[in-house]
Amino acid sequence: MPILTDRLNRPLRDLRISVTDRCNFRCGYCMPSDQFGADHVFLANDQLLSFEEIHRLSSLTAQLGVTKIRLTGGEPLLRRGIEDLVGLLASISGNLDLAMTTNGVLLPHHAEGLALAGLKRVTVSLDALDREIFGRMNGTGADVSRVLAGISAGQVFGLPVKVNAVVRRGWNDGEILPLVRWARETGVTLRFIEYMDVGETNRWQLSEVVSASEILDRVNAEFPLTTLPPTTTGETALRFQHADGSGEIGIIASVTKPFCGDCSRLRLSAEGKLFTCLFAATGHDLRALLRGGADDATVAAAFGAIWSDRGDRYSELRGQLVPPGQKAEMSYLGG
Ligand code: SAM
């Protein structure tokens, strides 16, 4: 099958799959507890794509040019039997870059099985090392030691670990330097993420965004950095190396330095809706197609039509757009 390109000539390379809309954290910037309380209605089991359905869609996208698949959510380790899904996806091709983003809390129970099933690497979200700040950031009071144990478990079982930290002014910006110090000591690659206006529930304000250049200035003041070139087209992080050679850090600057021009990502929600942008309001229902008995050629044609019609570049147009409706939540469409 031909490689797909969209209206802005961007190829389809990455597929992010949300395997559940549930999470065991309530980070205020993503799933604030006052919006996702005990009465929140999550997707029912029969609404979720089955592993076989996810495998089928993933195989088709691999034929259409996808080389990287990331499992996410919600919290992907809450999906029962996740190792079985990893095994199925790993069987698509040995060359597939198969990764997962997780909050790490359940990683001590899963790291070995995931590594054995063929997961190639893991990104763990860790917004603070200070216990109180971490407890406030995750909205549940969960102790940071649990995430650190998850990171260690990943490393023990040979999964390369990257750590992502969202920086929110007034909440955890004092943790930037402690995180950098810790990453240098542990050899983990750290990436800071600018706080994004994704979804509608987090009451995002620009004043809470700590820009990439401010993060860089703060780190540079204590640890001089040099700029690194991107490793691949479409890479989301600006990369920097410690001048003393002790590892690198990255900054994902979706707000102040948007990277829509290279965006090769397609997102599949846990119920099978395909989103062409993290900031989109609606997705395309592939589950209906699958459950309606469509053959592979028909599903591949749907992928082709959706991708070739894609013109999204929300982050570049931020502020100038007429809102297309309620933006979907990140916990639903997959971070
Ligand atoms: N539960 C998993 C986790 O915690 O990594 C995976 C899903 S989570 C939605 C994926 C990533 O999105 C996390 O690194 C999280 O910090 C990030 N994220 C969520 N909301 C965000 C926001 N408003 N701005 C920037 N990053 C955000």
pLDDT of residue 322: 58
pLDDT of residue 164: 98
Residue nearest to atom 12 of ligand 1 (CA): 335
Residue nearest to atom 5 of ligand 1 (CA): 102
What interhelical angle do 144-156 and 131-138 show, nearest 10?
90
Token representation of residue 185: 């000591």
**Entry pTM:** 0.96
Beta-bridge partners for 177: none
Sheet hosting strand 14-18, strand order edge to edge: 225-228, 238-242, 248-252, 189-194, 161-167, 121-125, 97-102, 68-72, 14-18, 265-268, 273-275, 284-285
Taking the C-alpha atoms of residue 112 and residue 259, their distance in angstroms, rounded to an integer, is: 34
DSSP code at position 47 = G
Taking the C-alpha atoms of residue 282 and residue 275, their distance in angstroms, rounded to an integer, is: 7
Whose structure tokens read 């998850």?
150
**CA torsion sign, 195 to 107 to 81 to 115?**
positive
User: What would the pLDDT profile of 205-238 be if each residue is shown by its tens digit?
Assistant: 999 999 999 999 999 999 999 999 888 777 789 9
Give me ligand 1 centre to Cα 101, in Å. Answer: 8
Atom of ligand 1 nearest to the CA of 18: 7
Taking the C-alpha atoms of residue 309 and residue 266, their distance in angstroms, rounded to an integer, is: 13
Give me ligand 1 centre to Cα 196, in Å. Answer: 10
Residue nearest to atom 17 of ligand 1 (CA): 335
Under the banding of pLDDT at 50, 70 and 90, the label for residue 335 is: confident
Give me ligand 1 centre to Cα 291, in Å. Answer: 30
The predicted model gives 132-140 an average pLDDT of 98
Pocket test for ligand 1, best of 171, 330, 333 (most atoms within 8 A of CB): 330
The predicted model gives 277-282 an average pLDDT of 93
Query: Which candidate, 288, 307, 276, places its Cα nearest to that of 60?
Result: 307
Which protein residues touch ligand 1 with a CB less than 6 Å away? 23, 29-30, 72-73, 75, 101-103, 125, 164, 166, 193, 195-196, 198, 202, 330-331, 335
Give me ligand 1 centre to Cα 1, in Å. Answer: 33
Residue nearest to atom 9 of ligand 1 (CA): 335
Contact 114/48 with Cβ under 8 angstroms?
no
Residue nearest to atom 20 of ligand 1 (CA): 30
Contact 190/250 with Cβ under 8 angstroms?
yes
The predicted model gives 127-144 an average pLDDT of 98
* Cα dihedral value 126, 128, 133, 134, nearest 10: 20
The predicted model gives 43-47 an average pLDDT of 98
What interhelical angle do 144-156 and 107-117 show, nearest 10?
20
Residue nearest to atom 4 of ligand 1 (CA): 103
Atom of ligand 1 nearest to the CA of 73: 7
The predicted model gives 324-332 an average pLDDT of 87
Pocket test for ligand 1, best of 110, 125, 172, 190 (most atoms within 8 A of CB): 125
pLDDT of residue 325: 72
Taking the C-alpha atoms of residue 62 and residue 115, their distance in angstroms, rounded to an integer, is: 21
Taking the C-alpha atoms of residue 252 and residue 304, their distance in angstroms, rounded to an integer, is: 28
